[in-house]
Amino acid sequence: MADVNTASAAFLATIPSPDQGVWHIGPVPIRAYALCIIAGIIVAIWLGERRWVNRGGTKGTVIDVAVFAVPFGLVGGRLYHVITDNQLYFGEGKNPLNALKIWDGGLGIWGAIALGAVGALIACRRRGIPLPAMADALAPGIVIAQAIGRLGNYFNQELYGAHTDLPWGLEIYQRYNPTNPDDFLNGVALGHVPLPDSPVHPTFLYELIWNLGVALLVIWADKKFRLGHGRVFALYVAGYTAGRFWIEMMRTDTANHILGLRVNVWTSILLFAAAIAYFVLAAKRGPREAPETLWSKDVPREDSGASSSSEPSDEEPHADVAAAPDTVRDSAADKATEDPKPDPEK
């Protein structure tokens, strides 16, 4: 009886997986993975916009940049996934057209960042603003979006690690799809029949928590040291890849290897080194970009509304001090125009 109670307690301590990751409203599939990606993009744009305006940039610029960066990033993310896991789509018995089914999951963050940066560069040049400064404003939102996206992997029952007896182990179940027995992604778990390795390490959760920690680190460091010229973005890349390195080593899903290591492990190593080098070298460019360099060339300064705000920016804590000389001059001018008082000596 004691053994039964112990087993029950251990099971209750684990994390259950959702029964399904796809729901249908008539013929229209609603996919949790897609909803998580969309939610992450919205959060990234919202936070990036706040940070950009606080730095002195034009309101609405981040949305304009996202119009270019998001579609470029989605294409880049999918290309990276298809290239690095090409055996899933090409070869005997494979359907290459499945490479286009982005809704079934499979986005590589490295490709999304690389091609998304190309889209952002196009938008920044159209607006006449520096890309490194925009990247700094977006960095925390991007890594938070990645954390939200990992929830999609949870609903898809993917990207997990090896078997574990730890209390936070993830229970993974067999899913059934009556229309296509081989399509587990669109199936439903009936009866909660565990897969052989269940419970497993929830590596999606490890990365989710790590990403949120990186976001907090980046925001703190940016406020503390007033980083600029792309150094905030470099810190994000270094922090993310440091965590991705050890988390990737724990994953047991199929992946291509180079010299015994998963491709994404090598990518993490190389990008971590590049980010650290950039962070150090960019410090030689001097202080953070001046606010006037962040203003879109096609928007008049008076249209911002930033100057009419009664609240000083968190990013510019000394704005009130800078405005003091104008106040003094205005006061002096007012006094000079007043009627002179009679001289008591006369």
Q: What mean pLDDT is predicted for residues 83-111?
A: 86
State residue 184's pLDDT score: 79
| Whole-number pLDDT of residue 98 | 85
- pLDDT beyond 50 at 67: yes
Phi, psi of 173 (to 5 degrees): -120, 155
Sequence letter at residue 298? D
Cα angle: 228, vertex 230, 233; to 5 degrees: 115
Nearest to 138 by CA among 238, 65, 37: 65
Q: Which residues contact 157 (CB under 8 A, 6 or more apart)?
A: 17, 18, 21, 172, 173, 175, 184
pLDDT tens-place string over residues 255-280: 899 999 999 999 999 999 999 999 99
Given a cut of 70, is residue 84 above it in pLDDT?
yes
Which pair of tokens denotes residue 248? Answer: 């990737």
pLDDT tens digits along 145-164? 999 999 999 999 998 999 99
Query: Residue 223 carries which side chain, given as an amino acid letter?
Result: K
3-state secondary structure of 200: strand
22 Cβ contact partners less than 8 Å away, ≥ 6 residues apart: 29, 30, 31, 32, 185, 186
Which residue type occupies 125? R
Query: What six digits make up the tokens of 42?
Result: 């919205």
The radius of gyration computed from the CA coordinates of the chain, to the nearest angstrom, equals 26
Confidence of residue 12 (pLDDT cuts 50, 70, 90): low
Q: In the predicted model, is pLDDT for residue 315 greater than 70? A: no
Yes or no: say if 134 and 65 are a contact pair by the CB < 8 Å rule.
yes
3-state DSSP assignment of residue 33:
helix
Q: Are 316 and 291 in contact (CB under 8 A)?
A: yes
Residue 114, by phi and psi: left (phi above 0), alpha (psi -120 to 50) or beta?
alpha
Whether pLDDT at 96 is above 60: yes
**What gap in Å lies between CA 270 and CA 251, rounded to an integer?**
19
